[in-house]
Amino acid sequence: MDSHSPSSVIIVGAGVSGISAAKVLAENGIHDLLILEASDRIGGRIRKETFGGVSVELGAGWIAGVGGKESNPVWELAAKSGLRTFFSDYSNARYNIYDRSGKIFPSGIATDSYQKAVDSAIQNLRNQEAESGGDHSSTSKVTEPPSTPIELAIDFILHDFEMAEVEPISTFTEFGEREYLVADERGYEYLLYKMAEDFLHTSEGRILDNRLKLNQVVRGIQQSRSGVRVVTEDGRFYEANYVVLSVSIGVLQSDFISFNPPLPRWKSEAITKCEVMVYTKIFLQFPYKFWPGCPEKEFFIYAHDRRGYYTFWQVRLKCFSILCLFCFSPGNHLLLFSWSNKETLKFKRFLFADYLFEQSSDLPLYDQHMESAYPGSNILVVTLTNGESKRVEAQPDTDTLREAMVVLRDMFGPDIPDAIDILVPRWWNNRFQRGSYSNYPIISNPQVFYNIKAPVGRIFFTGEHTSERFNGYVHGAYLAGIETSRAVLEEMRKERETEDGSQTQLPEPLLALTESLTMSQSDMVSNLHKCDIPTQLYLSGKRGITEAIL
Ligand SMILES: Cc1cc2nc3c(=O)[nH]c(=O)nc-3n(C[C@H](O)[C@H](O)[C@H](O)COP(=O)(O)OP(=O)(O)OC[C@H]3O[C@@H](n4cnc5c(N)ncnc54)[C@H](O)[C@@H]3O)c2cc1C
C-alpha cells in the first residue's frame, strides 16, 4: 500500500458539489485538503463531448431558476465566467405527435389523451396523499392506466420527463422563472474549472495541483475515533480528519464503497429509499436534415405501443432552445403540480395543452438569437428514461442506431438517410454515477431526506441528493457542497475547543448509538433549515489516524 501524509479533509468526488465544498474549505484556511476523483476529469454529471463537430452536453444542460429576487449562484458563476447561455423561450412551442405509420394525430385526440393523463396523475396524487395520511377509503379511486400508443406517449412525457414537484418549487420561487441553456464550446463544465482556479494551481485551463487526484477510485472508508482512512482501488490509502463524500445517491446505493464500521442502519435504509432517475439523451448525426425543422418544428413525438420507446425527439439544429420544455425533470416544469391547496390540484406554469398537439407550422419556435448559436449540425436527440435507458445502455450502439432508424422511418418514410454517427451516454452503467439524479417521492417522509444528509462520525455527505430544496439541480449540488463544508468547519471548531479544554474531553460518541437515533419531526425540520447537524453524530479526537481501523 502506498500512503500519503494526512490531510485535514478528503473530498471524494470532483463534481460541482465536491469542488464547491473544497473551495469553501480552502477559503476558510483549510489548505491541506485532498480531492479524490474516480474518473480522469472533473465535472461528474456536468459533462460535454464533441459530437458532429459541436459540443453537446451529455448531463446538465440548463441553468434553471433565473430572473427572480434572489440570484441563482450558478447563474452568477456563469455570468462571471462569461459562459455562453441562451434564454429558453417556451412561449411559442409547438410539436406534432406521429403514429407508427407516419400520420400526425389530430389535435383533438391528443388533447383528450392529455386530459386523461392529467386527471389520472391528479387522482394518483390524491390517493397517495390520502394513504400517507392514513385515509384508505374516501378519496382513493382506482385510475385507468394508459393503454393506447398516444396515451402511453403522453403518460411517458408526463411522468418520466417531469417528476411532479410539490409547490412551492424552491428553484423557481427563490431564483426566478427563467431557464437558460448552456451553449458554450467550453461546456457547462467550464464553471467548475473557473471555481477550481480560485484555490487550485492551474495553467492554461488545466488543473496542475497535486491536491486533486484523478483516477483515484475510492473503495473503502474506515473511521476511528481520531480519523478517517480512505482506500482506493489501486491499493493506495489516504488519511484525514474528515471525509466529505460527494458521490451520487446511485453510487451509495450500489455499495461500491465499503464502510468500516458499516454505516448505521438508519443511514443505509434511508439511502435505499431515494429513487434514482436515469435520463439519457441519445445524439444522432445525419448527412442532411430531413425532418420538419426550424423554425416550424423543433421537436416531435412518436407514439408506440411500448411506453417510452423513442418517444421524444428533439432537433439540435441550431440550439436546444425549446427542447428543455420536456427535457429534464427538475429543471423543466411542464407538469409541476400546485399543491398549496390540498383540495385543488392543478398543473402549474405551463399549460401542456397550449403547447402540445399543434399542427400548424407558421409560428417561430425559438428565439431568433439562437440562429447563430450553432451552424447546422444535423443532429437529432432522442430522450429515453429509466427502463428504456437501461435497456439501451446494455446493448451495442449499432442496435440502438438500428432501432432509432426504424422509428424515424415510421415517422418520415423509407427514404430518409441513415445516421452517420451516434452517441449514447451511459449514466446507469457508469459505476461512478449509477443514474442521472435523485428523485424523492412527492410524498415522502422528511426523515428519509434528513438521514441521507446526516453525517456519520467523521464522514460528511454532500451532493445534489443532499440539497433539501434543490435536489436534482446543479445549483442544488453547488449549495450542498457549501453547506456541508460549513458543517465540517463547525465541527473542526468544536474539536479545537475540546482539545483546548482537554479536561472536558468528550466521551467517544458511539456509532452504534446512532443506530437507534430518532428525532422528533420538529427538531428534524429545524435542523434541516439551519444545517445544524446533531453533535452526537460526531466523533471527537485528535488529528491523525493512529487509531484507524484497518
Ligand atoms: C442527463 C442529465 C441531465 C441533467 N440536466 C440538468 C439540467 O439541465 N440542469 C440542472 O441544474 N441539473 C441537471 N442535471 C443534474 C446535475 O447534473 C446534477 O445534479 C449535478 O451535476 C450533480 O453534482 P454532484 O456534485 O452532486 O454529483 P456528481 O456530478 O455526480 O459528482 C460526483 C463525483 O464523484 C465521483 N465519484 C463517484 N464514485 C467515486 C468513487 N468511488 N471514488 C472517487 N470518486 C467517485 C464521480 O466520478 C463524480 O465526478 C442533469 C443530470 C443528468 C445526468
Q: Which of 314, 437, 466 to mutate to test the pocket of ligand 1 (most atoms within 8 A of CB)?
A: 437
Tell me phi and psi for residue 174, to 5 degrees. Answer: -90, -35
Reported as a pLDDT band with limits 50, 70 and 90, residue 369 is very low
- Measured at the CA of 448, the angle between CA 427 and CA 487, to 5 degrees, comes to 85
Reported as a pLDDT band with limits 50, 70 and 90, residue 207 is very high
Does residue 171 carry a pLDDT above 50?
yes
Q: Is 12 a pocket residue for ligand 1 (Cβ < 6 Å)?
A: yes
Q: Are residues 29 and 159 in the same domain?
A: no
Torsion 399-402-407-410 (CA) sign? negative
Provide the domain limits for residue 169. 73-129+144-182+279-323+370-423
Q: Is 256 a pocket residue for ligand 1 (Cβ < 6 Å)?
A: yes
Does residue 352 carry a pLDDT above 80?
no
d(C-alpha 100, C-alpha 344), whole Å? 37
Top pLDDT among 329 and 87 is at 87
Q: Are residues 206 and 315 in the same domain?
A: no
The pLDDT assigned to 129 comes to 72
Residue 107 annotated as part of some ligand binding site:
no
User: How buried is 268 (Cβ within 10 angstroms: 0-12 exposed, 13-18 middle, 19+ buried)?
Assistant: middle
pLDDT in tens, 440-472: 876 678 899 999 999 999 999 999 999 989 999
Specify the 3-state DSSP secondary structure of 458.
Answer: coil
Q: For residue 16, how far is its CA from the centre of ligand 1 (angstroms)?
A: 7
Does residue 321 carry a pLDDT above 60?
no
Does residue 508 carry a pLDDT above 80?
no
Q: Are residues 386 and 491 in the same domain?
A: no
Residue 338 annotated as part of some ligand binding site:
no
Query: What would the grid cell of residue 380 be?
Result: 437529432
Q: For residue 227, how far is its CA from the centre of ligand 1 (angstroms)?
A: 27
Q: For residue 339, how far is its CA from the centre of ligand 1 (angstroms)?
A: 29
The pLDDT assigned to 266 comes to 97
Q: Is 246 a pocket residue for ligand 1 (Cβ < 6 Å)?
A: yes
| Helix or strand holding residue 196 (H, E) | helix 190-197
Residue written as grid cell 434528513: 450
Please choose, from the candidates 147, 142, 116, the residue with its C-alpha nearest in 3D space to the C-alpha of residue 130. 142
User: What average pLDDT does the segment 381-409 reach?
Assistant: 97
Residue 480 annotated as part of some ligand binding site:
no
Number of domains in the chain: 2
Does residue 19 carry a pLDDT above 70?
yes
- Whether 204 maps to a domain, the answer reads yes
Q: Are residues 302 and 399 in the same domain?
A: yes
Does residue 539 carry a pLDDT above 50?
no
Query: What would the grid cell of residue 91 be?
Result: 412561449
Q: Are residues 197 and 247 in the same domain?
A: yes
Three-state secondary structure string covering 264-287: CHHHHHHHHHCEEECEEEEEEECC
User: Measured from the CA of 251, which atom of ligand 1 is nearest?
Assistant: 38
- Whether 148 maps to a domain, the answer reads yes
The pLDDT assigned to 107 comes to 81
Q: Are residues 203 and 266 in the same domain?
A: yes
Q: Is 427 a pocket residue for ligand 1 (Cβ < 6 Å)?
A: yes
Domain harbouring 80, CATH code: 3.90.660.10
User: What ipTM goes with this model?
Assistant: 0.99
Q: Is 60 a pocket residue for ligand 1 (Cβ < 6 Å)?
A: yes
Reported as a pLDDT band with limits 50, 70 and 90, residue 125 is confident
The pLDDT assigned to 169 comes to 73
The pLDDT assigned to 370 comes to 35
Q: Are residues 268 and 382 in the same domain?
A: no
Three-state secondary structure string covering 101-153: CCCECCHHHHHHHHHHHHHHHHHHHHHHHHHHCCCCCCCCCCCCCCCCHHHHH
Q: Is 61 a pocket residue for ligand 1 (Cβ < 6 Å)?
A: yes
Q: Are residues 403 and 305 in the same domain?
A: yes
Q: Is 423 a pocket residue for ligand 1 (Cβ < 6 Å)?
A: no
Reported as a pLDDT band with limits 50, 70 and 90, residue 139 is low
Does residue 337 carry a pLDDT above 50?
no
Q: Is 428 a pocket residue for ligand 1 (Cβ < 6 Å)?
A: no
- Whether 490 maps to a domain, the answer reads yes
User: Measured from the CA of 256, which atom of ligand 1 is nearest?
Assistant: 41
Reported as a pLDDT band with limits 50, 70 and 90, residue 66 is very high
**What is the overall mean pLDDT for the chain?**
79
Q: What is the separation, in whole angstroms, between the first and last Cα of the chain?
A: 12
Q: Is 9 a pocket residue for ligand 1 (Cβ < 6 Å)?
A: no
Q: Which of 245, 389, 474 to mutate to test the pocket of ligand 1 (most atoms within 8 A of CB)?
A: 474
Do 458 and 230 meet the contact criterion of CB atoms below 8 Å apart? no
Q: Are residues 103 and 168 in the same domain?
A: yes
Q: For residue 252, how far is its CA from the centre of ligand 1 (angstroms)?
A: 13
Can you spell out the DSSP letters for 359-416?
----S--S-GGGGGTS----EEEEEEEHHHHHHHHHS-HHHHHHHHHHHHHHHH-TTS
Question: Ligand 1: which residue has its CA nearest to atom 26?
Answer: 463
pTM of the model: 0.83
Does residue 320 carry a pLDDT above 60?
no
d(C-alpha 520, C-alpha 262), whole Å? 25
Q: Are residues 269 and 284 in the same domain?
A: no
Q: Are residues 111 and 175 in the same domain?
A: yes
Top pLDDT among 90 and 214 is at 214
Among 8-17, 385-394, 478-487, 515-524, where is mean pLDDT lowest?
515-524
Q: Is 65 a pocket residue for ligand 1 (Cβ < 6 Å)?
A: no
- Whether 526 maps to a domain, the answer reads no
Tell me phi and psi for residue 273, to 5 degrees. Answer: -85, -15
